[in-house]
């Protein structure tokens, strides 16, 4: 692995940094909270449009669909530089990172012409409708069904933990179209209009005070067959493309890291505590280990290779890392740690808010347990779990 930028990469990094400096303020630890400001969505749409107009929105996408036609390493460099600024990007992370690439890979020319540019310029927002109450992280165990009716499909069922569904315009939804085959073989993916009749979005109030996740109910929702992505019954293949992109997208975590808690410890006068210093060292080592692991992905991208299941490592580490750091900071505040009012709490209550938000990150993009199974089976080559349903029709259970 080469950790240094080539001359071309260094030039692009300088160009990206200069552009970002012109439009945004440097990032602060409290940036996590900015996602709940009333004007955040409008700010995000404006920023997305500015990026698209200057060919920074999706750097690796071909120029003919609005991208820059750049290299994967340029996209990595852009992500690194943008992360240093208070960039309102979260409303578009799922759509441009997971949903629209799936539309590009499996959709028709009409789909690409209709949806890609509007998403790229921030005019439309997308969500991903996979998880269900009874299926958990077993995506293939979903029960939301679609029945063919002429040139349309009628969908009934429920999805849950759908990030951004309350402001999304469109989504990709995975449903069961054939219950009489094994569970991975009876799935189909569709594009769904989130504003159409029969789609009921209900935000979930979270412990952190936010409502980023949602329940979504489908009641006789009609979708034309022309909005199908891939062949009927091939939805699992389509979903794997989305899920691989999801692993990349949720590998990191916003909120305080070892640097923020070290700065707070200095102001609180606890840096001399040997127990805290030992934990700080552990957090630093974990952060550096994750950083070096990401370099492996960057090296694969620079060689034109597709990153594999090892990207699951990042999310397992960072979600738990965030929770541990915030818990330690709250304990450091003693009885004042119960105060979560940003006007009165230490560090603007960023540790309290992030601590309550962190468990959601351990669910998003696959639970810790599922990701550990992926690492064990697909990275380490350990034996797979016993699956009694492998060759049996879904309807048998």
Instruction: Give the C-alpha separation, 180 to 396, whole Å.
Output: 8
Q: How far apart are CA 172 and CA 239, in angstroms?
A: 10
Active-site residue flag, 246: yes
Q: Where is 355: in which H helix or E strand?
A: helix 350-361
Identify the active-site residue in 82, 212, 246, 260: 246
What does the H/E/C string look like for the chain? CCCCCCHHHHHHHHHHHHHHHHHCCECCCCHHHHCCCCCHHHHHHHHHHHHHHCCCCCCCCCHHHCCCCCCHHHHHHHHHHHCCECCCCHHHHHHHHHHHHHHHHHCCHHHHHHHHHHHHCCCCCEEEECCCCCCCCCHHHCCCEEEEECCEEEEEEEECCCCCCCCCCEEEEEEECCCCCCHHHCEEEEEEECCCCCEEEEECCCCCCCCCCEEEEEEEEEEEHHHEECCCCEHHHHHHHHHHHHHHHCCCCCCCCHHHHHHHHHHHCCCCCHHHHHHHHHHHHHHHHHHHHHHHHHHHHHCCCCCCHHHHHHHHHHHHHHHHHHHHHHHHCHHHHHCCCCCCCHHHHHHHHHHHHHHHHCCCCCCHHHHHHHHHHHHCCCCCCCCCCCCCCHHHC
CA angle (107 as vertex; 199, 312 as ends), nearest 5: 80
The H or E element containing residue 78 is: helix 72-82
Question: Structure tokens of 359?
Answer: 């468990």
Q: Is beta strand 170-176 parallel, antiparallel or unpaired with respect to 126-129? A: parallel
Q: Residues with catalytic annotation?
A: 246
């Amino acid at each position: 692995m080469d950790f240094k930028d080539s001359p071309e990469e260094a030039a692009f990094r300088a160009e990206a940094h200069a552009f970002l400096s012109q439009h945004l303020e440097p990032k602060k630890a409290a940036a996590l909270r900015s996602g709940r400001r009333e004007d955040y969505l409008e700010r995000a749409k404006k920023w997305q449009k500015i990026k698209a107009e200057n060919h920074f929105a999706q750097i690796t996408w071909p120029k003919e669909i609005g991208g820059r036609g750049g290299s994967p390493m340029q996209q990595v460099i852009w992500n690194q530089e943008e992360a240093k600024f208070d960039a309102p990007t979260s409303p578009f992370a799922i759509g441009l990172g997971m949903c629209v690439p799936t539309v590009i890979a499996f959709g028709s020319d009409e789909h690409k012409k209709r949806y890609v540019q509007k998403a790229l310029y921030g005019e439309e927002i997308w969500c991903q409708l996979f998880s269900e109450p009874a299926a958990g992280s077993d995506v293939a165990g979903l029960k939301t069904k679609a029945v063919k009716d002429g040139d349309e499909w009628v969908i009934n069922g429920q999805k849950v933990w759908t990030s951004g569904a309350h402001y999304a315009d469109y989504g990709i939804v995975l449903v069961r179209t054939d219950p009489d085959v094994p569970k991975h073989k009876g799935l189909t993916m569709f594009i769904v209009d989130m504003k159409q009749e029969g789609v009921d979005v209900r935000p979930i109030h979270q412990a952190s005070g936010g409502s980023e996740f949602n329940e979504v109910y489908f009641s006789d929702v009609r979708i034309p067959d022309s909005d199908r992505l891939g062949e009927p019954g091939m939805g699992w293949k389509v979903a794997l493309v989305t899920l691989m992109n999801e692993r990349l997208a949720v590998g990191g975590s916003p909120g305080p890291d070892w640097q923020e808690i070290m700065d707070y410890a200095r102001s609180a006068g606890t840096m001399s505590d040997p127990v805290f210093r030992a934990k700080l060292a552990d957090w630093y080592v974990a952060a550096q280990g994750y950083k070096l692991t990401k370099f492996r992905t960057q090296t694969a991208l620079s060689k034109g290779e597709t990153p594999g299941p090892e990207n699951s490592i990042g999310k397992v580490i960072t979600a738990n890392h965030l929770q541990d750091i915030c818990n330690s900071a709250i304990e450091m505040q003693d009885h004042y740690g119960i105060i979560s009012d940003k006007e009165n709490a230490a560090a603007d209550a960023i540790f309290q808010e992030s601590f309550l938000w962190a468990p959601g990150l351990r669910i998003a993009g696959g639970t810790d347990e599922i990701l550990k199974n992926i690492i064990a089976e697909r990275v380490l080559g350990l034996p797979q779990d016993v699956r009694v349903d492998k060759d049996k029709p879904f309807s048998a259970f």
